[in-house]
Structure 1
């Protein structure tokens, strides 16, 4: 398991007098007001350009580390805070406050950038982190699944089990079941349904979201990460393979065209042409290839229309406006 332990970017702290000595509060306020600095916690600031270059997960991790480091007594990081530490991504917004567990009889409250959740510690699986404790990957995924929509729970569980993660999966089904077995909690049935549906094969949050929608829209269960041998291109993996219908489905994320890491030295245009060549090669060896982007996941009717329009049958009618899972 690999927990994040360092800030993604440098943080300037008022108490350290890194802007001027002594600190010029008016100047610091002007820097925030003109947008060149971002206040991430009381007395802590980061350059706006560097902050905006971070992913939402990295931004929350920055807040988590900053708040944790200034907290005098040891804390138990939980839920979104723990997810940021373990790199469990999500599709919704990240909270502004850092979530920690406190004894169940205490009563939850928020102050100083912290949301205190009176969930108790009985049977909770935790690990040491920077002088504090953090719920384990298995515990974190369970906690998120117990409170979130089914889709968001599956995303968290898939992320925790993801086998192709750098350094290996954070946890596995056996460990998740073991952690859950020692807990009596509300939402147990929901968590169990999420665990049953989860997989170690989803390579992104959008693939997990797509997989949930494919099932809820009544389409056949796909094979995940099916490999095809393409002339001149070698082996390529596809997101979804509907074996009985000789039909490939793929989420077409923008990261492959914009993320410098994924571009690996190529220009966005070169990446786009390579993806087109890959798609054309797949279409020559299978009956159909369906592709969709994020808007089709925000409105499931669009995904339904794409797949049925390409000939994939569904056992259910087109969903109503606003349907979400």
Structure 2
């Protein structure tokens, strides 16, 4: 996603000041006023633009800035490669920039760079400027082998995401095959995440929801089920239990705040449109469940929402 260009082009870099001395007093004044902020060593960006970026885009920008400072060719990997490819993660992005090095090189993590010693002959890479980056498939496998199951599924789903504007980055069969070749610590977790993954999860929170739904004994839902509204428009739902005529949706706040998702509408207009859509969908099914972030942080709350709407489960209510 950001292989060719960084998310932000309006940045100020000390090293690119056309040979002119930097006016530190003026720079400090701009920082103190909140006009600009430091995003990497010697790099500053307009605060409003920086705040408008997603956490994924911010990490991608930091990877670009770190790569520009590296004197020698490097292999960008793990979370850094994930950001460059546009593969979102569940949770916070690391402060360090990940690179992979040969096992015998003896390098250490320092200066904001986190180094992973490994056999580079077994790593699939692609050129990235004067550097290299692990391929989307290699990046996904590296992360699902290192992360916990839920976080691994989110990464795998993002790599497989079929509705990505540029298309899926990885094929499901390739991901399963590559995860089967993982050895050592995390190999079983990688295989499990790859086999559970889906190309139909539109966000990491939908992936998290799906893992919770499975862990609490509910039937596996159909993802992105298609409905037709009264005006002929199509509506696709996050989750649908066809046998029970039950729709489930994760209600993220991004749709009410993100300018790209608002598409020129006010948050109030989006709320009204979402309510109208839900009313129409409710008339076509027996139950409609909606949840937000607090329910993902407290699984028993999601359990209660689904149970109270009549969805059967094979498991007892989770503990606190």
If the TM-score is normalised by the length of the shorter chain, which range does it land in? over 0.9
1:226 equivalent in structure 2:
225
Change (3 A) 1:181 1:121: farther
Q: Deviations over 1:210-235 (max 9, x none)?
A: 11110011111111111122222532
Q: Distance in 2 between matches of 1:159 and 1:45?
A: 30
Q: Deviations over 1:227-265 (max 9, x none)?
A: 122222532111111122111111111222222222222
Task: Provide the secondary structure at the position in 1 that maps to 2:38.
Answer: strand
Q: Distance in 2 between matches of 1:236 and 1:168?
A: 20
Task: Provide the secondary structure at the position in 2 that maps to 1:61.
Answer: helix
Q: Distance in 1 between matches of 2:117 and 2:172?
A: 27
| Cα offset, 1:156, TM superposition | 0.4
Determine whether 1:268 maps to 2:267: yes
Q: Distance in 2 between matches of 1:136 and 1:233?
A: 41
1:287 equivalent in structure 2:
286
Q: Distance in 2 between matches of 1:119 and 1:299?
A: 38
How do residues 112-191 of structure 1 correspond to structure 2 at under 5 angstroms?
112-180=111-179, 182-191=181-190
| Cα offset, 1:39, TM superposition | 1.9
How do residues 12-161 of structure 1 correspond to structure 2 at under 5 angstroms?
12-17=12-17, 21-107=20-106, 109-161=108-160
Q: Distance in 1 between matches of 2:184 and 2:67?
A: 27
Q: Distance in 1 between matches of 2:256 and 2:170?
A: 30
Change (3 A) 1:281 1:313: same
Question: Structure 1: where are the runs of 5+ without partners?
Answer: none
How do residues 186-205 of structure 1 correspond to structure 2 at under 5 angstroms?
186-205=185-204
RMSD between superposed Cα atoms in Å: 1.8
Q: Deviations over 1:47-69 (max 9, x none)?
A: 22221111111111111001101
Task: Provide the secondary structure at the position in 2 that maps to 1:116.
Answer: strand
Task: Provide the secondary structure at the position in 2 that maps to 1:203.
Answer: coil
TM-score, normalising length: structure 2: 0.94
Q: Deviations over 1:279-308 (max 9, x none)?
A: 111111110000111111111111111111
Q: Tell me if structure 2 keeps the 8 A contact 1:108–1:115.
A: no
| Cα offset, 1:38, TM superposition | 1.9
1:11 equivalent in structure 2:
11
| Cα offset, 1:44, TM superposition | 1.5
| Cα offset, 1:315, TM superposition | 1.0
Task: Provide the secondary structure at the position in 2 that maps to 1:105.
Answer: helix
| Cα offset, 1:155, TM superposition | 0.5
Q: Distance in 1 between matches of 2:189 and 2:285?
A: 37
Q: Deviations over 1:71-123 (max 9, x none)?
A: 12111111110000010112311111110001123345222321111123131
Task: Provide the secondary structure at the position in 2 that maps to 1:319.
Answer: coil
Q: Distance in 1 between matches of 2:211 and 2:223?
A: 13
Question: Structure 2: where are the runs of 5+ without partners?
Answer: none
| Cα offset, 1:21, TM superposition | 3.3
| Cα offset, 1:3, TM superposition | 4.6
Q: Distance in 2 between matches of 1:181 and 1:148?
A: 16
